[in-house]
A = this chain, B = another copy of it.
């Protein structure tokens, strides 16, 4: 593999790519671990997750430094992200313990039917470049796959291969000390290794976070297998924020600039399009706020930096007019933050304006009236998140929230979508092409469901049932019995 310092473009020493035999051995170890992991009780799985979380917590400083060398995202951000990743894994441990994810359901009668979610088997995890901890080797996908009783084979991310190796080693040690099955977590590196992984008969599902191009390529590859497996790809698109006429005066342009430039705009939840009522000077206010703020930083890889420059040029070519373009950092994978003005008519006529450009760029369009706003909302692609900025008791709010919910997985009121809180009620997913399925989430308690499938046992005696379905309910999990909650 290759590794670079984004601040200078200098090459760092990088771990080697995995050979085909190494990939096969890693998958074989995962396959060998699958049965024991799938049979492990919620308490055991929670213990293993907690061991990983504790290892992360104990090494935040050294891991953040290692991540900063390869990502240039800065120590404050990376220290925070690593700590949050540990807390997130602890949250999933609590979700596993609760047991609702098993969906245990019992219908007494003739026949006696008992349904429970079982583990899919080894999961290939392709993490994201922009969240080396949150969506990295030990991020949401890995944690929820392990929580669901599935071994993980992660692919080292080309933007942070050294960190990927460090995280895998840390977790493998923690899992080993916590007596998890050998092979519960493995790592492979290199493009060819990733492709071999997705085609490997031992892999039963793929989780991906990243670009449209990457996600769709894996999705297509998996669809050509003899035994097709699900690919849960979170790819993201342009996320839209709407300002209502009543909120125009108090609209916080600094908040918008902070959101679309956060992490140098490398967020799949970046608000890339602002729809503002005409006449309140919002484009000019945003332009001034960007000038004042002038965030500087680097993009993760040379390819992202190149794609960003080309993407902004592409937006300009189809009508985007530069309102402000601020100075770049010097050297390395630098990028100039920019905000562009477009019109609703241009958005409708040039669909490429609605293609996501990864990096610190946003479009601002002014709408004359609700009809013109609705015309733009009609052509929005499916997205992870949308936002609406409204006044108190704003008459436009309920209708806009409903309208935005039709094309996105999350609707934020009077805030920005860039923060994704972890909890029971979170949804991080959205209609095609934001993700490959309309219904999955990669963040929150429901994220475990990706790696489970239901099985129903008909007239099986107690001794032949898995623990969640036995009469004594040995795991003390919530169950639906004869249509109702169990007392």
Binding site for B on A (CB under 8 A): 94, 98, 100, 103, 105-107, 109, 111, 113-115, 118, 120, 204-205, 223, 227-230, 382, 397-398, 401-402, 405, 408-415, 419, 421, 423-427, 429, 431-433, 436-439, 441, 444-446, 449, 452-461, 463-466, 478, 480, 482-483, 485
Contact = CB atoms under 8 A, between A and B. Distances in A.
Q: Which of A100, A113, A120, A437 has the most CB of B within 10 A?
A: A113
Nearest to A417: B458
15 contacts: A100-B480, A105-B424, A107-B421, A107-B423, A113-B425, A115-B424, A115-B425, A115-B426, A228-B432, A230-B438, A397-B463, A397-B464, A402-B466, A411-B457, A446-B454
B461 A397 contact: yes
A394 to B, nearest CB: 9
Given A118-B405, A425-B106, A460-B413, A454 B441 contact: yes
A480 B98 CA distance: 12
A453 B114 CA distance: 25
Given A229-B432, A230-B438, A438-B230, A426 B456 contact: yes
B228 A401 contact: no
Contacts of A449: 439
Contacts of A441: 454
A5 B89 CA distance: 62
A57 B105 CA distance: 29
A438 B120 contact: yes
Contacts of A401: 457, 460, 464-465
B113 A423 contact: yes
A455 B415 contact: no
A107 B95 CA distance: 14
Contacts of A438: 120, 204-205, 229-230, 453
A182 B402 CA distance: 22
A433 to B, nearest CB: 7
A458 B115 contact: no
B413 A427 contact: no
Contacts of A94: 483
A354 to B, nearest CB: 13
Contacts of A452: 439
Given A230-B437, A439-B453, A415 B458 contact: yes
Lowest 5 CB-CB distances: which A-B pairs, in order? A427-B456, A113-B425, A115-B425, A105-B425, A107-B425
A455 B227 contact: no
A415 B110 CA distance: 11
A269 B303 CA distance: 51
A377 to B, nearest CB: 14
Contacts of A106: 425
Contacts of A453: 409, 431, 438-439
A109 B205 CA distance: 33
Contacts of A229: 432, 438
Given A94-B483, A105-B425, 14 more contacts: A111-B419, A113-B425, A115-B426, A205-B438, A228-B432, A397-B461, A408-B455, A409-B453, A411-B460, A424-B483, A427-B455, A438-B453, A439-B452, A439-B453
